Homo-oligomer: A and B are copies of this chain.
Amino acid sequence: GTGADNDLYISQAIVFIEDAIQYRSINHRVDFKSLWLYRWYYSRTCQCILSLTITVILALAFIEKPSSLTVTSDVRHRLPAWNPPCGLTESIELLCFLVFMVDVSVKSYLVGWEEFWKNKWLMAYILTLIVSLTDWIVSLSFFCAENVRIRRILRPFFLLQNSSMMKKTLKSINSTLPEMASVVLLLAVHLSLFTMFAMLLFARTKDGQQDKEWVVYFRNLPESLTSLLVLLTTANNPDVMIPAYSKNRAYSIFFILFTVLGNLFLMNLLTAIIYNQFRGYLLKSVQSSLFRRRLGIRAAFEVLSSLKETPANAQQSYVSVGALLQVLQKVEMDSRCKQGIMGSLKICSCDQLSAAQFQKLFEELDKDAIRQHPPSPEYQSHFMQKMQFAFGHPYFGYLGNVVALANIISICVVLVIDADKQPSERDDFFLGAINCFFILYYLLEMLLKILAMGLKRYLSYPSNRFDGLLTVILLVLEIATFSVYGFPHPGWRPEFMGLLSLWDMVRLVNMFIVFRFLRIIPNMKFMALVVTTLLDLVKNLRAFAGILVVVFYAFAITGIMLFKGAVVPPGNARPKHFFFFFLFQTSFYIKEVVVLYFKEKCDFMALFYGHFQAEIICCIFCLLSVNLICRWAKIYFVAWWLISSVIWVNLFVALLLENFIHKWDRRCHREPVSDIEYQRTVELIDVLEEPTEEELMEKLHQHPHLHLCR
């Protein structure tokens, strides 16, 4: 009947508007039950459960069998890590798989059968689940004693497929790959030609004294390749040329040529290529989000316009305000936006809305909260008004900055004076008294500011919130100190009492004071620009970081599997593993590890001498002891270096350049308005192209499930 039809149209409109708000695709089933399922699937609870499941399955690696999650990394001192019994982690895993199976079935159902076959991500999702479950069954049938666990390497895929941003980023990285491959090929040619040259240049001579270079770095082809590859990371830079250089200075020409060509030219060429590819990336991504939003709104308009019995020949379709209000009440959206749209509807005071009007109403969504700070309180007394003027003035804030700087300097002076004193000689009186004074000033500043601005206005500034929070923390710490250790007096160095020693308390207070000093940032123009750019960057970087985590996880698990037997710490027969080793190998760090690894090939003593304690080095040391593993390790390390240090860092630089230059350009055009905070979408709105009516309608007519009458 028409009533049921109307209900369906209303539900469709609600879902389409929600799609528009969340920038989701509208290509899903639109019948009544599917819409209910769709809203349920994208409800906060369901998405939370899904995210939680992904977190849990990824975090399993921390407690699974070859785990090393302990406080100290020193293999000699630490307690054995907790070893979960067989079946515990496996049953958690099974629960996660069940959630994923529900997820994939709902998703597949919602996109429809035809779309399903075109969607490679869904197919891969199902395949991954099948492989994982098979592996899980194999694992259980061996009572958790099997060595190879493929499903662990596949885990990060669940993270990847759940984020549309990451999928998009991966796609654009994928389109850069051919050019990156060309540069990597060029690097390979560079490397191999120079390797041949080096082998001819530093050949073995009849005089054993003269061929130090040959003995150490160019003994055979793999060794020469390794030496020059490490030189490409600039890590063995002076060492590799010193034997040759001390024979004849002219040999340095070879190394300089190699470094300049490889490092300065080819490596930076990679930056240039990646930057060139990513130049429009930010804009394009926001543009496609905008298109999705407009499309969702337009789809809602179209279904709502079918609601009324308009004459079939009418030139334009209209939507009644009543229907829109009905829809709006059921849509889940930011209450501010909802009120804004309702308000506009009232002002408009028309009965019917055209497509353009409808679209215009929802432009409220693009605008972010233009934050109006609440007004200061109005005092009657003349004295209070003067106080308000004095302590509400920016100069009072500057005075606070100066006092904070003075505090920092005093801490610094005390640190320099106390640097060489024994802990027992130290007198905490001076620092205690000074800090007490400063913290009282901070408290006074906070209270006076609240007096001048009123609590609401005070809290509406982020810098004040930061300031106030730290002041309160400092106050609490100080009161706790005094209550335990009494007031400071000369020779104030009581023994250990309570949870923390006095010395630790003072250190903690000092750290917070140093941290509080960051409040100066908004007062310095250039710093503020840099910090906002960085914050923007972090926002845009989430997808990249996610992909890095995915790669990282896969590498770490592969490492554990590859080098499992090889990694036995000396004097401690328990097998160790690579997870943490990799967890803090930032791209910079890996360079050093590769070098260490390549340089000290199986030279145990040298390794022992320098860095006996650290687990990391232990791992490498152990790796070295198994020669068979060596070749695999080399390939593994080089691959990781290429991905983390070369490609990822360059991607990061490209993104930073893009963001910064974009921001910089705009800064020149527009005056910075400190009181009003815009958001990214609004900032870009003047650069973006609005999609045309034709594009929207063409896309709507391609919708696999929605069949518009006209």
Contact partners of A246 in chain B: CB under 8 A? 72-74, 613-615
CB-contact partner of A592 in B237, B279, B534, under 8 A: B237
Cβ-defined contact, B652 with A268, below 8 A: yes
CB within 8 Å of B: which of A175-198? 179, 182-183, 186, 189, 193, 196-197
| Cα of A422 to Cα of B205 in the assembled complex, Å | 9
Interface membership of A709, Cβ < 8 A: no
Task: Return chain B residues, CB-CB under 8 Å to A242.
Answer: 611, 613-614, 616-617
Answer yes or no: A530 CB below 8 A from chain B CBs.
yes
B527 adjacent to A186 (CB under 8 Å)? yes
Partner of A200 from B221, B259, B507, B653 at Cβ < 8 Å: B507
Q: A186-B530, A246-B74 are in contact. Are A593 and B511 (CB under 8 A)?
A: no
Measured CB to CB, the closest approach of chain B to A184, in angstroms, equals 11
How many angstroms from the CA of A527 to the CA of B185 in the assembled complex? 10
Residue A424 at the chain B interface, CB threshold 8 Å: yes
Answer whether A656 and B220 are a contact pair too, CB < 8 Å, given A73-B249, A186-B530: no
- A240-256 Cβ-contact flags toward B at 8 Å (1 or 0): 00110111111010001
Q: Quick one: which of A269-328 are within 8 Å of B by CB?
A: 269, 271-273, 275-276, 279
Contact of A419 among B219, B252, B533 (CB under 8 A): B219
Q: Which of A581-615 contact B (CB under 8 A)?
A: 584, 586, 588-589, 591-593, 596, 611, 613-615
Residue A12 at the B interface, CB < 8 A?
A: no
In the assembly, what is the distance between CA of A260 and CA of B537, in Å?
13
**Contact residues in B for A256 (Cβ distance below 8 Å):** 584, 586
A271 near B657 with CB under 8 A, answer yes
A71 at the interface (CB under 8 A from B): yes
Q: Which residues of B contact A593 (CB under 8 A)?
A: 238
Interface 1/0s, chain A 499-536, versus B by CB < 8 A? 00001000100110010011000000011001001100
Determine how close the nearest CB of chain B comes to the CB of A613; give it in whole angstroms.
4
Q: Specify which of A249, A250, A416, A530 lies most central, judged by the most chain B CB atoms within 10 Å of its CB.
A: A249
Also in contact, A661 and B586, with CB within 8 A (given A196-B514, A507-B203, A614-B246): no
Docked-complex contact B510 and A200, CB < 8 angstroms: yes
CA distance A236 to B186 in the complex (A): 30
Which residue of B is nearest A665, CB measured?
Answer: B276
Given contacts A73-B249, A272-B656, contact A234 B203 (CB under 8 A): no
**B616 pairs with A272, CB closer than 8 A:** no
Q: How far is the CA of A95 from the CA of B252 in the complex (A)?
A: 34
Q: Does A204 contact B (CB under 8 A)?
A: yes
CB <8 Å contact, A656 and B269 = yes
Q: Is A206 an interface residue (CB 8 A)?
A: yes
A219 to B419, alpha carbons, bound, how many Å? Answer: 7
Interface contact A206-B424, CB-CB below 8 Å: yes
User: Which of the 9-residue segments A79-87, A111-119, A407-415 touches chain B?
Assistant: A407-415
Q: Is the beta-carbon distance between B260 and A586 smaller than 8 angstroms?
A: yes
Taking a contact as CB atoms under 8 Å apart, the answer to whether A580 and B249 are in contact is yes
Q: Let me know if A3 is at the binding interface, CB within 8 A.
A: no
16 further A-B contacts with Cβ under 8 Å, apart from A197-B511, A238-B593, are A70-B249, A73-B249, A186-B526, A203-B507, A204-B422, A221-B419, A237-B589, A238-B589, A238-B596, A245-B616, A256-B586, A259-B588, A265-B656, A268-B656, A269-B533, A271-B653
What are 6 A-B residue pairs whose CB atoms fall within 8 Å in the complex?
A: A72-B249, A200-B510, A204-B422, A243-B613, A259-B586, A265-B534
